[in-house]
Amino acid sequence: MTGNQDFFQQAMNQGHSAAWDQNWERAAVLYQQALDEFPNHPKALTSLGLALLELKRYEEALRCYFQAARVVPDDPLPLEKVSQICERVGRLNDAIEASLRAADFFLKRNDAERAIECWIRVLRFNAEHLQAHSRLAVVYERLGRKSEAVAEYLAIASLMQHAGDLGKALQAVQHTLQIMPESSEARQALGTLRSNQMLPKPARVRGGTGPVLMAQVRQMDDTQPVGRPAAAGQPSSVQDPITEARQLALIQLAGSLFEAGEERIEIPEPPRRDLDSIITGASTPEPEQSSRSQMLFHLGQAIDTQTRNQEAQAAAHLERSIQFGLTHPAAFYVLGHRLVQTGAAEDQVEKGVGYLQQITRSPDYMLAARLLLGQALLKLNLWFPAKLFFDT
Q: Is the model more confident about 383 or about 210?
A: 210
Distances (CA, A) of 250 to 88, 296, 323: 14, 14, 18
Nearest to 279 by CA among 325, 324, 312: 312
Classify residue 89: in a domain, yes or no: no
Q: What is the pLDDT of residue 124?
A: 86
What CATH code is carried by the domain that includes residue 69?
Answer: 1.25.40.10
Q: What is the pLDDT of residue 385?
A: 53
Domain count within the chain: 2
- What domain range includes position 41? 1-73
What CATH code is carried by the domain that includes residue 359?
Answer: 1.25.40
Nearest to 380 by CA among 356, 351, 337: 351
Q: Write down which residue in 73, 94, 116 finishes a domain.
A: 73
Q: Write down which residue in 23, 49, 73 finishes a domain.
A: 73
Classify residue 167: in a domain, yes or no: no
DSSP single-letter state for residue 108: H
Phi, psi (rounded to 5 degrees) for 389:
-65, -40
How far is 168 from 71, CA to CA, in rounded Å? 40
Together in a domain, 214 and 67? no
Classify residue 268: in a domain, yes or no: no
Considering the chain, what is the average pLDDT of its residues? 81
Together in a domain, 67 and 216? no
Nearest to 335 by CA among 366, 305, 314: 314
Classify residue 161: in a domain, yes or no: no
HSE, CB side, 13 Å, CA atoms: give it for residue 173: 23
Q: Is the model more confident about 365 or about 378?
A: 365
Answer whether residue 116 shows pLDDT above 90. yes
Q: What is the pLDDT of residue 274?
A: 44
How far is 355 from 362, CA to CA, in rounded Å? 12
Phi, psi (rounded to 5 degrees) for 235:
-65, 140
How far is 354 from 90, CA to CA, in rounded Å? 32
Which band of pLDDT confidence, cut at 50, 70 and 90, is reported for residue 276?
very low
Distances (CA, A) of 6 to 38, 65, 76, 228: 12, 24, 29, 35
Answer whether residue 145 shows pLDDT above 90. yes
Please tell me whether the overall predicted TM-score, pTM, comes out greater than 0.75 for this model.
Answer: no
Classify residue 149: in a domain, yes or no: no
Classify residue 94: in a domain, yes or no: no
Which band of pLDDT confidence, cut at 50, 70 and 90, is reported for residue 207?
low
Classify residue 2: in a domain, yes or no: yes
Q: Write down which residue in 20, 38, 73 finishes a domain.
A: 73
Task: Specify burial of residue 167 (Cβ count, 10 A radius: 0-12, 13-18, 19+).
Answer: exposed
Which band of pLDDT confidence, cut at 50, 70 and 90, is reported for residue 374?
confident
